[in-house]
Structure 1
Amino acid sequence: MELRHLQYFIAVAEERHFTRAAARVGIQQPPLSLQIRQLEAELGGPLFVRLPRDVALTELGEAFLPEARQILERVARTKRRMQQISRGEAGHIRIGFAGATYFEPRIPAWIRDFRSRYPDVQLHPQQSNTASLLTALVEESVDAAFIRTPFEVPEGIVSVLVVDEPMVLVLPLGHPMCSRERVPLAALARDEFILLPRDISPALYDRTIAACEAAGFRPQLGQEAPQITSIVPMVAAGFGVSLVPASVSQIRTPGMGFWPIDAPQGEMPLAPISLAYRADHGSAALERFIAMMPSQGTQGTQGTQGTQWAQGVHGA
């Protein structure tokens, strides 16, 4: 049984006439009659009663008609779905988020715009850390990931810079520098710094160390935080100070606050976010997602934005 057999049968059933049905499907009447006889032989009985002026469905034909329609509708629906997937208008993307990257405003805005434009593409978010997400990309358990850079790129992985996010200081209320509007890093040389373990977030760890060394001191390392969102309550609890991406200042906990770093614009510590994905991913939906990536602004604009986020939240 072929799809054309179903199409021919439905045409005859609806037209109740072989000649009109043949004209409808674009073939001659004799070949149409032959196709119907072949279908009847395969199904084991007649589908039509031949009358002088037209035809009528037999009991078998009445039972077969809704089944034939459902099959063709399912085939048409499947075809449309596959065409959508091939164009990137449907499907699914598993997206990883590392180091609270979802707090950076451009990322949720990007995802919101993509979902609005392609509602039939399902996005499946997964939260983890940079190291774990890179492994997941290689193992193909995620399709793309927002990660903190720089990092050692595994073979076959592509990364594209999304934004150079500025960093800000997290201080406990009562710290001597709380009275300042902007705090120089050098003023924290005697404080203990709360960092993420380097093996899960090498980019933030290395950039914090480098920023302190550029300010003239090697930071004293205190207790490590299990994840970036844990840093804020740990600072509030008095475990030390820290340096975090500016978008983390959206987390508010009593007993702490965020301060802009007092540094020349070109020397502001940054926490870049990149989108990483497999070079051979083969997903049209992911290609559309990548194509909608927001344009990268200048460092000067980003540094100013980070300062605005930090201003006014000193006494969280």
Structure 2
Amino acid sequence: MELRHIRYFLAVAEERNVTRAAERLGIGQPPLSQQIHALEDEMGVRLFRRTGHGVVLTEAGEAFAADAKRILHDTRIAVEKAQSAGRGEIGQLNIGFTGSAAFNPVVSKLIRAYRQAYPNVTLTLAEGNTAQLLAYLDERRVDVAFVRLGSQSPAGVQFHHIAIEPMKIVLPATHRLAKKRKIALSDLAEDPFVMLPREASPTLHDVIVGACREAGFEPIAGQQAPQLSSVVNLVAAEFGVSLVPASVCQIRVEGVVYIDALGKPISIRLVLASRIESTPAKTANFLQQASVFAADMS
């Protein structure tokens, strides 16, 4: 039995006339009659009783009609769901982000716009450092991830530009330079630097070390922190000084100040990572919106 047989049966049942049903279906009356007879033979019951004015359903036909309508309805719903999934309008999108990325205005605006455009896609969020998020991407635990990326690109991953963010110096409020509006990075040559381990966030680590070297000194390695928010807290506890993306200034911790650096601008890239392989529609839609937002912020 095929779906077309069910459609033929319901058309005849609703029209109560084979000729009118054939016209409605756009087929000839003889072929339609043959299909109805074949369906009755396959089921082993008579579905219609012929009258002088057309046909009426038998008791078996009445019983079959109720389920036949449900079958066609369920089939239509299944097709619509498949089409929606194919357009990326339903499903689940898993998004990873570094602690600092969450503070970048592009990220929050992008996620909000995506939710408004695709309200039936469920979003799940996972926080981690860059190394963790790239591993999550490889393990398919996330579909996309906002990360800080340097010059190296892991195999199988593509990166989409989101923003270039300036870096700020963060000092304990008790620091000798805390009341300055701007300071030279070289003024911190004798201070220990609180940083994330390089294996956790190679880009941020290398940006800080590179900026210090360009300023003429090798940074003194201080306490290591698991996340950028922890960097700020450790600076507040006077473990040292650091450099953080400007968006981190939204973390208002008592006992720290954020200061601009004199000289050559120090910046770091924020990118959106995704797998290179065939991209599901829901992920492609998110990447498309990301490219629009990145262009608007350029």
Question: What TM-score do you get using the length of structure 2 for normalisation?
Answer: 0.91
Alignment-derived partner of residue 9 in structure 1? 9
Match for 1:184: what amino acid?
A
1:241-280, CA deviations, whole angstroms, 9 ceiling, x for partnerless residues? Answer: 21111111111122222222223xxx21112111121222
Match for 1:217: what amino acid?
F
Deviation at 1:194, TM superposition (A): 0.9
Classify 1:208/1:297 alpha carbon distance in 2 versus 1 (closer, same or farther; 3 Å).
farther
| Identity over aligned pairs, percent | 44
1:138·1:154 contact (CA, 8 Å) conserved in 2?
A: no
Q: Which runs of 4+ in 1 moved over 4 A?
A: none
- Aligned with 1:178: secondary structure? coil
Deviation at 1:285, TM superposition (A): 2.7
Classify 1:151/1:124 alpha carbon distance in 2 versus 1 (closer, same or farther; 3 Å).
farther
Alignment-derived partner of residue 83 in structure 2? 83
Structure number having the greater strand percentage: 2
For the residues of structure 1 that align with 2:11 and 2:296, how far apart are their CA atoms?
60
Larger mean Cα displacement after TM superposition, 137-146 or 163-172: 137-146
Say whether 1:23 aligns with 2:23: yes
1:121-143, CA deviations, whole angstroms, 9 ceiling, x for partnerless residues? Answer: 33332212211222232333322
Deviation at 1:225, TM superposition (A): 0.6
- Aligned with 1:177: secondary structure? coil
Larger mean Cα displacement after TM superposition, 185-194 or 42-51: 42-51
1:167·1:244 contact (CA, 8 Å) conserved in 2?
A: yes
Alignment-derived partner of residue 309 in structure 1? none
For the residues of structure 2 that align with 1:63 and 1:154, how far apart are their CA atoms?
61
Match for 1:61: what amino acid?
G
Alignment-derived partner of residue 112 in structure 2? 112
1:194·1:240 contact (CA, 8 Å) conserved in 2?
A: yes
Alignment-derived partner of residue 152 in structure 1? 152
Q: How is 1:202-221 mapped onto 2 (pairs within 5 angstroms)?
A: 202-221=202-221
1:99·1:148 contact (CA, 8 Å) conserved in 2?
A: no
Alignment-derived partner of residue 273 in structure 1? 270
Match for 2:68: what amino acid?
A
Alignment-derived partner of residue 280 in structure 2? 283
Match for 2:49: what amino acid?
V
Alignment-derived partner of residue 183 in structure 2? 183
1:82-105, CA deviations, whole angstroms, 9 ceiling, x for partnerless residues? Answer: 233333444443221124212110
For the residues of structure 1 that align with 2:128 and 2:36, how far apart are their CA atoms?
60
1:99·1:147 contact (CA, 8 Å) conserved in 2?
A: no
Match for 2:225: what amino acid?
A
Alignment-derived partner of residue 307 in structure 1? none
Match for 1:269: what amino acid?
I
2:106·2:294 contact (CA, 8 Å) conserved in 1?
A: no
CA RMSD of aligned residues (A): 2.1
Larger mean Cα displacement after TM superposition, 57-66 or 86-95: 86-95
Alignment-derived partner of residue 101 in structure 2? 101
2:147·2:272 contact (CA, 8 Å) conserved in 1?
A: yes
Larger mean Cα displacement after TM superposition, 181-190 or 244-253: 181-190
For the residues of structure 1 that align with 2:6 and 2:257, how far apart are their CA atoms?
71
Classify 1:25/1:297 alpha carbon distance in 2 versus 1 (closer, same or farther; 3 Å).
closer
Question: What TM-score do you get using the length of structure 1 for normalisation?
Answer: 0.86
Alignment-derived partner of residue 71 in structure 2? 71
1:145·1:275 contact (CA, 8 Å) conserved in 2?
A: yes
- Aligned with 1:179: secondary structure? coil
2:159·2:274 contact (CA, 8 Å) conserved in 1?
A: yes
Alignment-derived partner of residue 308 in structure 1? none
For the residues of structure 2 that align with 1:186 and 1:66, how far apart are their CA atoms?
82
- Aligned with 2:20: secondary structure? helix
Match for 1:281: what amino acid?
S
Match for 2:253: what amino acid?
T
Alignment-derived partner of residue 304 in structure 1? none
Say whether 1:33 aligns with 2:33: yes
